[in-house]
Amino acid sequence: MLKPVFMTLLFLFFFTATAMAARPAIVQDVRYSYNNGTVRLVVDVTDYVDFREIYVENPSRLVVDIQNATLSSKVKKELPIENPTAKRVRVGQFDKTTVRVVIETIAEIKTFILEGGPAGYRLVIDVIGTPTVSGAPPSHVETKPSTVTKPSNSEEHEALQKERERQERLEKERKAKEEKERQEKLEKERKEQLEKERERKAKEERERKAKEEKERQEKLEKERKAKAEKERKAKEERERKAKEEKEREHKNTHSTHSTTTYPSTHNPHSSEVDKDIESLTTLKGKIIAIDPGHGGNDAGAIGPSGVMEKTVTLNVALELEKLLKAEGATVIMTRRTDKTVSPAGAKASAIEELQARCDIANKAKADIFISIHADSFTNPTARGTTGYYYSQTEGQSAIRLADCIRKALCEQIKTPSRGTKPCNFYVVRNTDMAATLIELAFISNPEEESIMNSVEGVLKCAQGIFDGIEDYFG
Ligand SMILES: [Zn+2]
């Protein structure tokens, strides 16, 4: 049976129209007709209207509320229908904006709006049904989901219904709000989780990078220490050898001849022949042209630590000059300072600059010409000493000069020999005497660069060339 709170309620339909007229529609007429067991009520209205239907019990009746409508005074308030399906029909202005039609019936009702008719629109209420015993509901009414018991007046019913709707709406809104809050909370939690995860990953990444950097620094430090240790040992070894050599030299060197303060590793004389030294020396009266490669605006090759070829060649040439003069040779230097040789200076072309060097040697009618250079290559491991002579040279003198100097140099500075080779270099091609261009070592090789940049290395280079010259004239 029925729950008491809904006693007055049968059931409720809403029909919501798509649009609602702003001004009230006027109900101009309510009429009815019979057709094959169906009673058709027609409500003539001037505009499209919204309406709602409410079933109310005891007596069973359908209430149709026409929204936003006013009732014309011409309309009859009661229609005397006498039919088993529909008994009485009452029409009235329920409130300011609602016209109410009440049909006492137990039959099935179909309500709908049609366009047309004398007022413009028709609200049609079809009361369909087989005639039944009055007061006994037909079977299809019983199947409807609402319940019926005690009577109630329509105002009470309306109020209850409205309250129920209000409660339902509030409940719906409350649930929707709760659901929204729940979703927002979940979303917030999800975002917080993501943010935490992101921070965790970023921290891990930072730590990983810091660790890598630390390891890298440690490795570099280790390598640096190993290198310093290696260099220290190499230096010790060099110093030890130099000391040994000095001691040996000191025993061998005659004391009266040399004006140089530098030691000589090659000296054929002994103290017994000191008094005859000038007549014995092989270099007395020889004119020797020395050409320190590059100079001035032309630095030549530059080593990995910045040592310039032009500096090395000049340092070696100046030391060589001392050695040669000490042995009575006449030395012709193409330059004795850091400058270009051509009077045109920096403006001189490469050929003009090289020709100026040849001119000096040719004019002096030098016996030999030695152009001093340092080698360079893109691969820093390239190393060694090379002697060059002009490829078209006739006779053996130039080849022999190049070979003697290259050989003696290798002995002095302990570089691997790269051989004595023919070439087409300008200065050896355009000098009239036996000429050689000597590549001391590779300035592009860090080790050889440091040899050529040291006082000791420069002395040894000079000594090597000097030894070669003596060998050549000997
Ligand atoms: Zn050079």
Please give the structure tokens belonging to residue 281. 């020396």
203 contact partners, CB below 8 Å, separation of at least 6: none
β 69-71/25-35 pair status: parallel
Distance (angstroms) between ligand 1 centre and the Cα of 234 equals: 28
Distance from Cα 336 to the centre of ligand 1, integer Å: 16
- 386 alpha carbon – ligand 1 mean position (Å): 12
Average pLDDT per consecutive 10 residues, the chain (474 residues; last block may be shorter): 42 40 84 84 93 85 92 89 81 93 85 90 85 42 37 65 86 92 94 94 93 91 88 85 72 41 44 49 90 96 96 97 95 96 92 96 97 96 96 83 97 96 94 96 97 96 97 92
CA geometry: angle 184, 186, 192, nearest 5 deg: 100
Does the reported pTM lie above 0.75? no
Distance 256 CA to ligand 1 centre (A): 37
pLDDT for the residue numbered 249: 60
Q: Ligand 1 being an ion, which residues bring their Cβ within 5 A of it? A: 293, 300, 373
Report the side by side order of strands in the sheet with 417-423: 330-333, 287-292, 368-375, 434-442, 385-390, 417-423
CATH class, domain 276-473, is: alpha beta
Predicted pLDDT of residue 275: 45
Domain-wise residue ranges, the chain = 4-152, 276-473
> For the structural domain made of 4-152, what CATH number should be given?
2.60.40.3500
For residue 87, the model assigns a pLDDT of 80
Half-sphere exposure (Cβ direction) of 399: Cα atoms closer than 13 Å: 8
Cα(421) to ligand 1 centroid in Å equals 16
pLDDT of residue 166: 86
pLDDT for residue 101: 92
Cα(402) to ligand 1 centroid in Å equals 16
Judge contact between 171 and 163, C-beta under 8 A.
no
| Distance between Cα 440 and ligand 1 center (Å) | 10
Cα 352 to ligand 1 centroid, rounded to whole Å:
16
* Ligand 1 centroid from CA 301, angstroms: 7
Q: How far is the CA of 383 from the centre of ligand 1 (A)?
A: 15
In angstroms, what is the span from residue 385 Cα to ligand 1's centroid?
A: 13
> Shortest CA distance to 14 belongs to which of 95, 97, 123, 111?
111
CA end-to-end span of the chain: 144
Residue 180 C-alpha to ligand 1 middle, in angstroms?
A: 85
CA of 441 to the centre of ligand 1 (A): 11
| pLDDT reported for residue 153 | 60
Provide CB contacts within 8 A for 389, sequence distance 6+: 398, 399, 401, 402, 420, 421, 422, 423, 428, 435, 436
In the reported structure, the alpha carbon of residue 326 is separated from the centroid of ligand 1 by a whole-number distance in angstroms of 27
Instruction: Fill in the amino acid letter for 428.
Output: V
Compute the distance from residue 374 Cα to the ligand 1 centre, in Å: 6
CA distance 206 to 202: 6
Q: In the 3-class helix/strand/coil scheme, how is 106-158 assigned residue by residue?
A: CCEEEEEEEECCCCCEEEEEEEECCCCCCCCCCHHHHCCCCCCCCCCCHHHHH
Task: Give residue 256's pLDDT.
Answer: 39
Residues pairing with 32 in the sheet: 41
pLDDT of residue 155: 67
Q: Tell how far the Cα of 294 is from the centroid of ligand 1, in angstroms.
A: 6
| 261 Cα: distance to centroid of ligand 1 (angstroms) | 28
Ligand 1 center to 372 CA (angstroms): 7
Q: How far is the CA of 334 from the centre of ligand 1 (A)?
A: 14
Rounded to the nearest angstrom, the distance between the alpha carbon of 387 and the centre of ligand 1 is 13
Cα of 48 from ligand 1 centre, angstroms:
108
pLDDT for res 236: 86
- Provide Rg for the chain, Cα atoms: 62
Distance between Cα 438 and ligand 1 center (Å) = 9
Give the pLDDT confidence score for residue 338 in this predicted structure. 96
User: What pLDDT, on a 0 to 100 scale, did the predictor assign at position 134?
Assistant: 43
CA of 109 to the centre of ligand 1 (A): 118
